[in-house]
Structure formats: C-alpha cells, structure tokens
C-alpha cells in the first residue's frame, strides 16, 4: 500500500474523487497541504484573491456542471471569509466541499493564533461537517463528505483539518474507499407509487392546472422528464428564479418566472389554478408572498421533493411525494401512459384562453427611453440576441439580477447561475470564473450591478492569472438600485445611503489596470454594435459598463401581504 | 402540545451541538434535554421535550431526521410510554419541620439521601408533574436548591428504539 502524509492523502483523495479544480487561498494551517499540492499535477488549484470568491467560484462550477465545487482555505480569517459563500450554497442546495485548515490538535481551544471554531461557526449553514482527528481518517472523511454533499438534497460540507493531521513526516497507508455506508444517512431512491398514482389522478382531473418547479428539478437532473410530462399534459408551467432553464423559456407553455418579480400571467395562473403540481420547489416567501393563507386559494397541491422537511413547511401539501424528482417524474409519465383517464381538453382550452388574455398585458414590455438613454432591460435583451440565448449567465443581486432573469430566455438548465436563497451581492463574478473554468470555450457572462461588482472586484486579478475571458455586463445605474426602488415605493423617495454616483470608480480604467479590456456603452443607438464588439473579443476579459436609466424600477412586483394576484405593474398601475 | 422525542445519536464529537443548534436556529423550544451513552458504545440516546402544534412537531422530527448524526428517533407521545425524571432537592429542615418533611417524602416515595442539622437532601423519581407536585407540597419557602435531570422516556410494551 502507498505511504502518504495526511496532506498528500487529502489531495490524492480529491483526485480519486474526480476533482478537477480546487479553489483556494493559502495560510499557515494549510501549508502542509499546499506543499503536497505543489508536488502533484492532478488537481488544479486556482488561487483566488479572497476566500469568499473561492466559495462562489466553486459554487458556480457546481451549478454549471452538477459536480461538487471544492474549496481550500486556511484557519481563522480564511475560514470565516468563506462563510458567506458556504451560506449561499446552503440556501440554494449546491454540492460543495470546503476544506478548512485548523490549528494543531493540541492547541485547539487555547485561542491560538488564527484559531476559529469552524465546525461551530459553520454549523447552521452546512449539510454536515467533519473534524479530522488524525491523518488516517482523511480518505474516509473525504469520501463521506463528497457522498453527503452530492446526494439527496445537496449542500455544502465542511472538513476541518488540524495542521498536525497533514504533517509531511507522518505517513499513513493510503487507500481510497470504493463506497461508503452511513447508517444514519439514507437517501430515498424512489417515490411512493401509491402517492404518485394519486397525484396523476388529481392532475388529470384538473380544470385549471399549473406546474411550478424550482431548483430541485435542475439539481435532481429531472429537466427532460419535466419537459416531457409538461408537453404530454399540455399544461402551463412556471419556473422559480432558481429553476429557470429547467423548461425551455421559448416554449409556448412557459409562462415565465413566478413570484415577487414574476410575470403577470404566471402569478395570475398560480392564484387561480385548481391543481398545482410543485416539483423541487420550496414555497419560499419570494414565491408565495408573505401571507401563505392567501396562496393559491382554490388549489389541490401536489408536492414532489427529495427533502421531506421541505414538504408542508410553509404551505401544506395535499399529496406529498418524497423522492428524487427524476425517478418520480418518470413514474408519473409511466402512470400517465397507463391511465385510462385523460386530460379535460375542454376545460384546458378555456384555461389557456384565460392565460392568453393575461399574457396580453405584456407585463415585461419596455418603452424605449427618450434622449438615447439605455433601459437596463434593453441591455439584457441585446445580450440575449447577440449570444443567441446560449450563454452561461451568472448574476448578482439587485435590479440587474431581476432584469436578467426576466429578459434572458433560458432554454437549457445550468445556464442561469444566481444566488436565489441568500441573495448574495458579490456572487456573480467569481461564479462566472467557476463556469469559465468548467467550460473554457463557452461564453461565460456575468450580468451585474456596479454595487455588487465592487464586492468582489479583486477577482480581476485571478482572471488575468488564469486567462479567463469572462464578459461582465454591468448595468450601471450609479446606485444600489433595488434598495433605491424600495425607498421610492415605501419610504417616500428618501434615498438613504443607496446612491454614490460621485464616488464611483472609472470601471474602464479599473479593468485596464488589471490588464483587461473595458468598454463603455452610453447611448441606446450604440448598444448593439458595442456589445457585439465586446463579445467578439473571445480571448479577453471585457468589462462592459452599460450606463442605464437610473430611474427604472423592476416590475411586476408583488404587493406585500397580498396574494400572488396582487402586483404593482408599473409606476402608475397595479392589479 | 407537549412532546417527548427520543433520538439515537451517533456518539461523535459535535453531534449534540448539531441537535441543540437546530432547535435554536429554527426557533423551536427545548423544555428539557437529557443525553447519555447507551449499551452500544457508538450511540447516545437523547431525549428532548418540546411543544408545538402538529405541523411544528412534524417539522422538528423531519429536521432532526435530516441531521446526519441522527440514526433513529421516535416521538414517544404518539403512543403509550413511560416517562421519568430524577430530582435531587435540598430543603430547609429543622425542628418540627423535619418530621413533616420526612412524611411528605414517604408519601411521594422519595428518599432522604443526605442530611445535616438543618438541611435534607431528597431524591425523587417520577413523571415531571409528580416532581412539580412534590415541590408544591413542600412549599417554595423551604426549597434551597433543585437539580432535575430532565425527562427520559421509553415506549410501553414490545416497541423498542434500537437499530
Ligand atoms: C452582501 C449583500 N449586502 C446587501 C444586500 C442588500 N441589497 C440587495 S440589492 C442591493 C443593491 C444592489 O446594487 P447593484 O449591485 O448596483 O444592483 P442594482 O440593484 O443597482 O441593479 C442591496 C444593497 C445584499 N443582497 N447582499
Ligand atoms: Mg446599481
């Protein structure tokens, strides 16, 4: 058997687990591990410029590929800097393994230099965590961590590694376990057939059906099955912010995103449906609006999710089905095939007629501004056209994020990479790095706001080091636009600490300072041509600073405390 | 409603803090908590009493089950069960009080396990209400110190919580 030190065993275990990239930042507690990294070429380490960016990059990689993202940080500040990224991944159920260095075992608890109780600090935002006791534990702990992170409802797992466990002088017999059994961790392999049968019956009996799906369908690789089921039934479908791309947005059965900034037709259809099939979605408050008693008042609710705790958490399910979405959807298709019941065509026709009337509202239409001012929506539309809807789009948090979600049509899963649950500004740019590393030839775009971008702008340097030709489309409204919008709507237009136009950097010079290219777009008539030029610079990172209408708001917008049918549709119109 | 949930937990460092953390993180209350090793070295048994409506208790048990360290659990209050708590209590006992207190201890089937000229230390086991009743019977003015273990419980009959 091979003799390896703990540090070597750790890196080898990552390789044996199929890890391509390790996003990290060195420091005292992980120096043994970094030395082991130096002496191999199987796992590629990406040196970020802030540990938060390491977690977001790993997260972006995971969302784009479906494989766990992997992070290596040092103890103390390295570990705490990673916390925001771990919480981001946790809220969106993203598979991630974070390896944090820890002070030597004999020093733990002594307030040693750079000691933080990482297992304790991260506890509420991880799926599970491990504290390595000795080098010999490492192969099995790594195996368990990857297994837990990537199966069931995925999530981040922390492995805290005391420095002495990676001591290069202490060798262990290395063998990577083939598989692992955890008596206390079992993942359901299929849904309850009786419940599935019941669900299919209810679905076929529907007069005003609606399908609502979330990130779980993408995580659970159920998009093909979902598309097939939706087409077979001919029912309308909506996706959550996390679920965009699970069903092709250009398809006529797609009603757009639902929720706080969802389309009029999707939210109306939700409110008025009589049967709601929810798949891999969690009835989050940005979907249901705050008062769940007003949510889908007439609907029988069928809820498919791999996580039993997600079912009947905020909204009670009438037919709960716990199971992996792919297998459950397949079984639904089977049962549908066998059923002698059929869709109520007449009722469905009337329902579609109603939906088409709602669609007539054209709730996302934007009137061009006067004086050549660019509407932020137009910038996203231009990007959509020029990239032929085929880019990977990461985003941050704010108005730009909602404009991207509303106006970039996603026809494929894993193309829309955004922090939905935690809403982390600063996520988009590093996430786009993870995407670009996973798909070097693809177009990886970050649609961001100037506020969010400044939260992780240091990653310009990482992109230079690794030659990542990301395109950053910054919808620059010279403000924390989403905050400002709320202040306009709810605080009498008092813009408390949400503007800073006089102190913004020159983003073009900033990009150039790092050796990248900057392009500024100021007028609507140059939007297409300049963006086209920027996107054509295939091997360069280009920062595209699009000066957009600072007065624009995101609509539709849910009215707080209302039902899903209650929306503000423009500065002057509400439902 | 009050529920008694018994949990078999991996005997791993950090496992207990995950359970306790879950309760505070999700705003569930813990009325009492006991934890100790079982006959199987690798497992601890934890018993928690909590309260809430059915939906809340369902969420609590689901979230507990999701913890990787939780091997198995049962909500004892769903069926017939036996519930016990141990209390050690120090009370003022001098002069004529001593006989009176000793009699009360007898009635409640407790034991005086230690004494001085002015203090009795009494041990009492039973369901929580019995311990409450004992304290009430003595009167709060004589009570010097109370140490209760919290509720432990087990199902009646053949049912077991085991692997
Ligand atoms: C880390 C973090 N801090 C604060 C917020 C609250 N927040 C939500 S949107 C927003 C404004 C974002 O500004 P910008 O990135 O410029 O986007 P815009 O809304 O202007 O398009 C803020 C401050 C957040 N989501 N994340
Ligand atoms: Mg902005």
Q: Dihedral sign for Cα A58, B25, A148, A186, please.
A: negative
pLDDT at A16 over 80: yes
Domain B2-79, CATH class in plain words = alpha beta
How high is the pLDDT of residue A537?
98
- pLDDT digits over A61-73, tens only? 999 999 999 999 9
pLDDT above 80 for A144: yes
- Residue spans of the domains in chain B: they are 2-79, 82-152
With a CB cutoff of 8 Å and minimum separation 6, the contacts of A321 are A191, A192, A195, A196, A199, A302, A303, A304, A305, A328
**Per-residue pLDDT at A1:** 86
For chain A, the residues whose C-beta falls within 8 A of a C-beta of chain B are 119-120, 123-124, 127-129, 131, 148, 182-185, 307-309, 312-313, 316
- On the question of a common fold for B2-79 and B82-152, the answer reads yes
pLDDT at B97: 92
User: How far A87 CA lies from chain B's nearest CA (Å)?
Assistant: 14
Task: Let me know: does A21 contact A439? Beta carbons within 8 Å.
Answer: no
Interaxial angle between packed helices A193-204 and A325-338, expressed in degrees from 0 to 180 and rounded to the nearest 10: 60
Test mutation, A93, A145, A309, A316, chain B, max B CBs within 10 A: A309
Beta bridge pairs of residue A23: A46, A71
**Pocket of ligand 1 contains residue A188 by CB under 6 Å:** no
Cα(first)–Cα(last) distance of chain B, in Å? 28
Please report which helix (H) or strand (E) contains residue B9, including its range: strand B2-10
> How does pLDDT run across B8-22, given as a tens digit for each residue?
999 998 999 999 999
Neighbours of B82 (CB within 10 A): 11
Ligand nearest to the CA of A399: 1
The pLDDT value given to residue A289: 87
Q: Given pLDDT bands bounded at 50, 70 and 90, which one contains residue B102?
A: very high
B23's enclosing H/E stretch is helix B15-25
Pairing of strands A254-257, A237-239: parallel
Select from A450, A483, A489, A546 the residue to mutate for testing ligand 1; criterion: most ligand atoms less than 8 Å from CB. Answer: A483
**A238 CB neighbour count, 10 Å cutoff:** 26
Q: Is the pLDDT of residue B31 over 80?
A: yes
Q: Are B62 and A185 within 8 A, CB to CB?
A: no
Indicate the average pLDDT of chain A.
Answer: 97
The residue assigned the tokens 């990406």 is A46
Q: Is this prediction's ipTM beyond 0.90?
A: yes
- By DSSP bridging, strand A567-568 and strand A557-558 are antiparallel
Examine the pLDDT at B52 and tell me if it is beyond 80.
yes
Residue A290, pLDDT > 90, answer no
Topology at the third CATH level for domain B82-152: Alpha-Beta Plaits (3.30.70)
Q: What is the mean pLDDT of residues B144-163?
A: 96
Q: Judge whether residue A473 has pLDDT over 80.
A: yes
Confidence label for A187 from pLDDT (cuts 50, 70 and 90): very high
Does the pLDDT of residue A382 top 80, yes or no? yes
């Amino acid at each position: 058997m091979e003799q390896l030190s703990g540090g070597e065993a750790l890196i080898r275990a990552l390789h044996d687990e199929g890890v391509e990239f390790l996003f990290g930042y060195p420091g005292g507690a992980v120096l043994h591990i970094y030395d082991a990294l130096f002496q191999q070429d199987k796992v590629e380490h990406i040196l970020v410029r802030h540990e938060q960016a390491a977690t977001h990059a790993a997260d972006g990689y995971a969302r784009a590929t479906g494989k766990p993202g992997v992070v290596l940080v040092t103890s103390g500040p390295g570990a705490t800097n990673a916390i925001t990224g771990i919480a981001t991944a946790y809220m969106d159920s993203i598979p991630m393994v974070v390896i944090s260095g820890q002070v030597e075992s004999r020093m733990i608890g002594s307030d040693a230099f750079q000691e933080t109780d990482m297992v304790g600090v991260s506890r509420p935002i991880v799926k599970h965590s491990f504290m390595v006791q000795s080098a010999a534990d490492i192969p099995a702990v790594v195996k368990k961590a990857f297994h837990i992170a990537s199966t069931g409802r995925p999530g981040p797992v922390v492995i805290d590694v005391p420095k002495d466990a990676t001591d290069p002088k202490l060798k262990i017999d290395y063998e990577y376990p083939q598989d692992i059994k955890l008596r206390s961790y079992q993942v359901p392999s299929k849904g309850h057939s009786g419940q599935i049968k019941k669900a299919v019956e209810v679905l076929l009996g529907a007069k005003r059906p609606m399908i609502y799906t979330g990130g779980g369908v993408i995580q659970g690789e159920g998009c093909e099955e979902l598309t097939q089921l939706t087409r077979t039934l001919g029912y309308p479908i909506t996706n959550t912010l996390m679920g965009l791309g699970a069903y092709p947005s250009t398809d006529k059965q797609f009603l757009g995103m639902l929720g706080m900034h969802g389309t009029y037709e999707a939210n109306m259809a939700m409110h008025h449906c009589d049967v709601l099939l929810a798949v891999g979605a969690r009835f989050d408050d940005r979907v249901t609006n705050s008062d769940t008693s007003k949510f889908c008042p007439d609907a029988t609710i069928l809820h498919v999710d791999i996580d039993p705790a997600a079912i009947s958490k905020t909204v009670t399910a009438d037919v709960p089905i716990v199971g992996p979405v792919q297998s459950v959807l397949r079984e639904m298709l089977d049962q549908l095939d066998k059923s002698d019941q059929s869709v109520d065509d007449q009722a469905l026709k009337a329902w579609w007629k109603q939906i088409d009337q709602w669609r007539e509202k054209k709730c996302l239409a934007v009137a061009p501004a006067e004086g050549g001012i660019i509407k932020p929506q137009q910038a996203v539309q231009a990007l959509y056209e020029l990239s032929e809807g085929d880019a990977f789009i990461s985003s941050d948090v704010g108005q730009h994020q909602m404009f991207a979600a509303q106006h970039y049509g996603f026809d494929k899963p894993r193309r829309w990479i955004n922090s939905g649950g935690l809403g982390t500004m600063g996520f988009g740019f590093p996430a786009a790095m993870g995407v670009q590393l996973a798909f070097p030839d693809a177009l990886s775009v970050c649609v961001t706001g100037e506020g969010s971008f400044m939260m992780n702008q240091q990653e310009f340097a990482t992109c230079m080091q690794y030659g990542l030709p990301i395109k950053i489309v910054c919808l620059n409204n010279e403000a924390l636009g989403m905050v400002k919008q709320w202040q306009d709507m709810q605080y009498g237009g008092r813009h408390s600490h949400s503007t800073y136009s006089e102190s913004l950097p020159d983003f073009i010079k900033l990009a150039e300072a790092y050796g990248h290219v900057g392009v500024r777009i100021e007028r609507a008539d140059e939007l297409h041509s300049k963006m086209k030029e920027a996107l054509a610079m295939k091997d360069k990172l280009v920062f595209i600073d699009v000066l957009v209408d600072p007065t624009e708001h995101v609509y539709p917008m849910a009215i707080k405390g209302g039902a899903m049918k209650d929306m503000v549709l423009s500065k002057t119109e509400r439902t | 409603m009050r529920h008694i949930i018994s949990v078999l937990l991996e005997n791993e460092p950090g496992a207990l803090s995950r359970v306790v953390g879950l309760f505070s993180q999700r705003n569930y209350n813990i009325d009492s908590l006991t934890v100790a090793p079982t006959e199987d070295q690798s497992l601890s048994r934890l018993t928690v009493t909590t309260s809430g409506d059915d939906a809340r208790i369902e969420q609590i048990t689901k979230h507990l089950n999701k913890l990787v360290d939780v091997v198995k659990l049962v909500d004892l209050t769903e069926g017939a069960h036996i519930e016990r708590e141990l209390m050690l209590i120090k009370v003022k006992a001098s002069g004529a009080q001593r006989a009176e207190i000793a009699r009360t201890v007898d009635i409640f089937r407790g034991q005086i396990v230690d004494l001085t000229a002015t203090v009795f230390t009494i041990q009492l086991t039973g369901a929580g209400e019995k311990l409450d009743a004992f304290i009430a019977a003595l009167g709060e003015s004589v009570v010097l110190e109370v140490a209760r273990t919290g509720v432990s419980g087990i199902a009646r009959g053949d049912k077991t919580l085991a692997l």
